[in-house]
Amino acid sequence: MTPVIAACVLVLSATPAQAALQPCAVGYVRLTFDDGPNRNATPAILDTLAARGVKATFFVVGSMAAASPGIVRRASTEGHRIGNHSWSHPNLTKLSREQVTSQLARTNETIKQATGVSPTEWRPPYGATNALVEAAARDVGLTSMVLWTVDPRDWADPPATTVRDRVLQAVRPNSTVLLHDGTGANTPEALPMILDGLADRGYCTQ
């Protein structure tokens, strides 16, 4: 019985374009959102993700998370992963070890206060890292550094259709897509189109 039930669910939930490919046939893509939370963009993005049953990772800036802990809590409650993106978004390679530790530890504490969980994933601002920075991260429990493979430069505010096209042209199986909910004025508008395009191409998101 189970395969029959699964097939029925698939038919009922798929658009004609999606039905052409088995879901996840091509592979998985990881969606990440940096530099938030933002009081406008982040709830809009969370609404889109919830409506489509898609999970993502939010690499939050600690000072922003401290200003809007309810949004971080909502993202965590809805099943998204919360990562550490430093307290004030500096280039960590320009700081002392003590300053790097402060940037990351304060943000860990803010995330834990908001969600009840201390993060293990982190992303250095600008992707700028070195051995000292990574050692400081490990010392505060940040064991997994997550960079990216697809960068549509949404923070520079290209049109939503441009953000979509850049993502869909560059995406490959196991891509990690860098998007922004703190900057990137057109990202909330681009997201539904990106999700449609990924589904049409046989990708699932994680």
Residues that bind Zn ion (CB under 5 A): 34-35, 125
DSSP letter string, 132-188? HHHHHHHHTT--EE---SB---GGG---HHHHHHHHHHH--TT-EEEEESSS-TTHH
Supply the minimum distance, in Å, between the C-beta of residue 127 and Zn ion: 9
Long-range Cβ pairs for the range 106-110 (8 Å, 24+):
106/62, 107/60, 107/61, 107/62, 107/65, 108/84, 108/140, 108/141, 108/142, 110/62, 110/65, 110/66, 110/69
Closest by CA position to 118, among listed 35, 42, 62: 62
Identify the burial level of 20 via C-beta atoms within 10 angstroms of its C-beta, where 0-12 means exposed, 13-18 middle and 19 or more buried.
exposed
Q: Select 157 or 196, whichever has its Cβ closest to Zn ion.
A: 157
Q: Select 181 or 198, whichever has its Cβ closest to Zn ion.
A: 181
Residue 165 is among the residues annotated as catalytic for this protein:
no
Cβ-based neighbours of 7, under 8 Å, separated by 6 or more: none
Residue 89 is among the residues annotated as catalytic for this protein:
no
Supply the minimum distance, in Å, between the C-beta of residue 126 and Zn ion: 7
Q: Select 37 or 125, whichever has its Cβ closest to Zn ion.
A: 125
Catalytic position from the list 80, 180, 181, 196: 180
Q: Select 36 or 43, whichever has its Cβ closest to Zn ion.
A: 36
Supply the minimum distance, in Å, between the C-beta of residue 119 and Zn ion: 15
Supply the minimum distance, in Å, between the C-beta of residue 89 and Zn ion: 6
Catalytic position from the list 34, 35, 154, 181: 34
Which residues are part of the catalytic machinery? 34, 180
